[in-house]
């Protein structure tokens, strides 16, 4: 998939359980960080968009845990747009460890809103940047 963006993350001890695997909810933080860096790479930081009265709250998230990530693992978080439609934008995600093992498959669903949470269309310049990068989400079933 040529259009995906990759973000790197080293698993810290604080992100792990006593069983030495990443606590399940921490993966949402990893996905958020990767989406933020993806937007930054496009030239639209989250802070810039917010200053323009545009935010993208998560309205649904689907995660399929494949294999545990552990302390000191070096993760690659891949992110790409999977749908842009009206006020909706969805992102596909895949997390791999340093050995190329798939750790997690995910898709997050977002609504474009004002900071007062009123739905609005995705800014045209951002939609124009995202549209050519659209690819199917990672397959979460099976």
pTM equals 0.94
Token code pair at residue 57: 């709250």
Question: Residue 7 CA to chain centroid, in angstroms?
Answer: 10
CA distance 95 to 34: 10
Q: Domains (ranges, CATH) in the chain?
A: 5-133 (3.10.129.10)
Predicted confidence (pLDDT) per residue in 110-119, tens digit: 999 999 999 9
Predicted confidence (pLDDT) per residue in 30-49, tens digit: 999 999 999 999 999 999 99
Predicted confidence (pLDDT) per residue in 56-111, tens digit: 999 999 999 999 999 999 999 999 999 999 999 999 999 999 999 999 999 999 99
Give the residue among 31, 22, 45, 28 at the shortest CA–CA distance from 76: 31
Is 65 within 8 Å of 95 (Cβ atoms)?
A: no
Token code pair at residue 54: 């545009």
Q: What are the backbone angles phi and psi of residue 111, rounded to the nearest 5°?
A: -110, 140
CA distance 83 to 137: 9
């Amino acid at each position: 998939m040529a259009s995906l963006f990759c973000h790197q993350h080293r698993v810290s001890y604080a992100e792990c359980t006593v069983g030495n695997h990443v606590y399940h909810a921490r993966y949402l933080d990893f996905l958020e960080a990767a989406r933020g860096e993806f937007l930054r790479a496009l030239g639209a930081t989250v802070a810039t968009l917010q200053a323009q009265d545009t935010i993208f709250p998560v309205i649904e998230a689907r995660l399929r845990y494949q294999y545990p990530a552990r302390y000191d693992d070096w993760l690659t978080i891949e992110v790409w747009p999977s749908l842009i439609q009206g006020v909706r934008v969805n992102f596909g995600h895949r997390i791999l460890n340093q050995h190329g093992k798939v750790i997690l498959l995910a898709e997050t669903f977002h609504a474009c809103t004002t900071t007062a949470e009123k739905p609005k269309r995705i800014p045209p310049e951002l939609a124009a940047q995202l549209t050519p990068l659209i690819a199917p989400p990672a397959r979460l079933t099976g």
